[in-house]
A and B are shown apart, each in its own frame.
Chain A
Amino acid sequence: MAHQSNAPGWPLRKVFDVAERAVAARVEPLVQTGGFATAISRYVAINRRVGRVLSKVTGGVLHLVNIPTTNDVAQLHEHLNVVNKQLSQLTRELGRVPASRQEDPQRLGTNIRTTPKPVDAQPSKED
């Protein structure tokens, strides 16, 4: 990590570099150990649990006065995401169907719209 410079620099720079190298040489291998990984994992897990408890409590208070919480919004998003995912899967599967079969929607066993797109539909950004 030490910076090599031909500029005059600070008189204490060499001292800092020596100290930094010494610390880095000891700390860097330490963070790669299983013990450190376990410590970090436990810290994250505890943090997460505390967060859940806190959000449950604040959520309960907000529900008392009929205000939706971030969890409610997150759940709605989750539902939308599931629908989105299913659409993506369908798109992918359609993409794999040979062009000759795509010409005959009845053979695919799915209800593919053949009428024009409604005028009030949002224009697609997809190409």
Chain B
Amino acid sequence: MLDSARTVLDKAKRDVARTSLQARNGIKHVAGINRMQVAQTPKEVVWERRKSQLWRYKSEKITEPVPIVIVYSLISRSYMFDLYPGHSFVEHLRNMGYDVYLLDWGVPDQTDAANDLEMYAEEHLPAALRAAQEASGSDSVFVVGYCFGGTLSLLSMAAADLAEVKGLILMATPVDYHKLGLFTEILGPQARMNPSDLVDGTGNVPASASRDFFNVLKPTTKVAASVTFLERMWDDDYVKGYQAMGQWTRDHIPFPGAAFRQTVRMLFRSNSLVNNTLFLSGRRIDTGRVCVPVLIVVAEKDHIVPMESALPAADLVGSKDIEIASLPFGHVGLVMGRAAAKQTIPTILDWMRRHTVTSASEEN
């Protein structure tokens, strides 16, 4: 009897405490006070061209011989890899002794409307990889391409002789553009939408268009997330994560018009990566030339890049050393949050270490 009275009292105390925390955090959230600051890991710019920049994350304990260059997509902000302390992909890699670089493409404006895939894949990416190699003093680098950044990495490696790449990691990277669900229906071979209709007065696809398309794929997600937020508003850590994630999901950037038109024409309409009919700068791009070890990381619950769009990468590259890691996450969960720290990063680290050891022993 006494025990159950104590339990009720404890529960009441906890509920009162949580309600007051909920009120405090709710006021802070609405007033915009104490918002979580993103991208806090200290970094420096080691290379830049036009708006593209290569960032090196500062570290005093680099123990791994081969640096990592993360290549990000063109349509959203790269701080998804450095959300906030304790929940940062690059911070985890850095703490494991890696020299970590991230290639950020910048925010395109009118002056970038003519930026094409050639500029990103044949100019900026190879130059950034060479810059990372020089800055690190290493012979080679691991390239981690995420989403469309993976596609660009693949194109870049197929187009140029990038001897400095030791291994390629493709994370949630679309290669079969006829398996991208709604995007394929709209931009694919049926040509329901004229790409020019999406391009605004700046010559680019506005950030709001990308945001709306992603939101419409999971129409109830926003409501469910808001309800969960209201329920867990007493939890300071949860509020931090919600605010940082919320900021990122709203924070898309324009897609350069020329690159977008090429993407629609070559990838969505002709599916030219899979059909091996892709041309850049008038030359045919043969992904079979990619002979370095490749790790393909796919997310089983990915609603943006389904597994069937990402897996054909294994058939496209010429490498004999291909591994596939299938992880039980969504597109974003693959690199953000606790799940990424517990599974994605260890999977990548294990692969990189095995391939660093292999090549070191081959050299001996």
> Which residue of B112, B202, B217, B225 is within 8 Å of A31 (Cβ)?
B217
- Give Cα A74 to B109, complex, Å: 11
CB <8 Å contact, A55 and B201:
yes
> Which residue of A1, A48, A81 is within 8 Å of B224 (Cβ)?
A1
Q: Tell me whether B127 is interfacial, beta carbon within 8 Å.
A: yes
CB <8 Å contact, A73 and B110:
yes
Nearest CB in chain A: distance from B56 CB, A: 14
A-side contacts of B198, CB under 8 Å: 44
Q: Tell me whether B364 is interfacial, beta carbon within 8 Å.
A: no
Contact residues on B (Cβ < 8 Å of other chain), bracket: 35 or more
A-side contacts of B227, CB under 8 Å: 3, 13, 16, 20
B-side contacts of A28, CB under 8 Å: 217-220, 303
CB <8 Å contact, A125 and B49:
yes
Q: Which of B28-36, B164-172, B180-188, B267-275 contacts A (4 or more CB under 8 A)?
A: B180-188
- Give Cα A56 to B194, complex, Å: 20
Q: Tell me whether A127 is interfacial, beta carbon within 8 Å.
A: yes
> Which residue of A8, A31, A34 is within 8 Å of B190 (Cβ)?
A34
B-side contacts of A8, CB under 8 Å: 11, 15
CB <8 Å contact, B193 and A44:
yes
Nearest CB in chain B: distance from A47 CB, A: 8
> Which residue of A10, A48, A71 is within 8 Å of B197 (Cβ)?
A48
CB <8 Å contact, A24 and B15:
no
Dominant SS among interface residues on chain A = helix
CB <8 Å contact, B190 and A27:
no
CB <8 Å contact, A27 and B219:
yes
CB <8 Å contact, A20 and B123:
no
Bits for A25-44, please: 1 = Cβ < 8 Å to B, else 0: 00110011110111011001
> Which residue of A73, A84, A85, A92 is within 8 Å of B122 (Cβ)?
A92
CB <8 Å contact, B114 and A32:
no
**Which A residues have a C-beta under 8 Å from some C-beta of B?**
1-3, 5, 7-10, 13, 16, 20, 23-24, 27-28, 31-34, 36-38, 40-41, 44-45, 47-48, 55, 70-71, 73-74, 77-78, 80-82, 84-85, 88-89, 91-92, 125-127
Contacts A9-B231, A82-B114 given: A1-B218 contact, CB under 8 Å? yes
B-side contacts of A34, CB under 8 Å: 185, 190, 192
Bits for B206-218, please: 1 = Cβ < 8 Å to A, else 0: 0000000000111
CB <8 Å contact, B197 and A45:
yes
Q: Tell me whether B343 is interfacial, beta carbon within 8 Å.
A: no
Closest to B280 in A: A92
CB <8 Å contact, A77 and B192:
no
Q: Tell me whether B351 is interfacial, beta carbon within 8 Å.
A: no
CB <8 Å contact, B182 and A126:
no
15 A-B pairs with CB atoms under 8 Å apart are A5-B231, A13-B227, A16-B227, A24-B218, A31-B219, A37-B185, A41-B193, A41-B197, A84-B114, A88-B118, A89-B118, A126-B48, A126-B49, A127-B49, A127-B127
CB <8 Å contact, A41 and B202:
no
Contacts A8-B15, A20-B223, A92-B118 given: A36-B203 contact, CB under 8 Å? no
Nearest CB in chain A: distance from B242 CB, A: 11
> Which residue of A32, A77, A126, A127 is within 8 Å of B110 (Cβ)?
A77
Nearest CB in chain B: distance from A81 CB, A: 3
Nearest CB in chain A: distance from B191 CB, A: 9
CB <8 Å contact, A7 and B15:
no
- Give Cα A56 to B225, complex, Å: 42
A-side contacts of B225, CB under 8 Å: 1
CB <8 Å contact, A81 and B111:
yes
B-side contacts of A55, CB under 8 Å: 201
- Which B residues between 145 and 172 are near A, CB-CB below 8 angstroms? none
Bits for B95-119, please: 1 = Cβ < 8 Å to A, else 0: 0000000000000001111101011
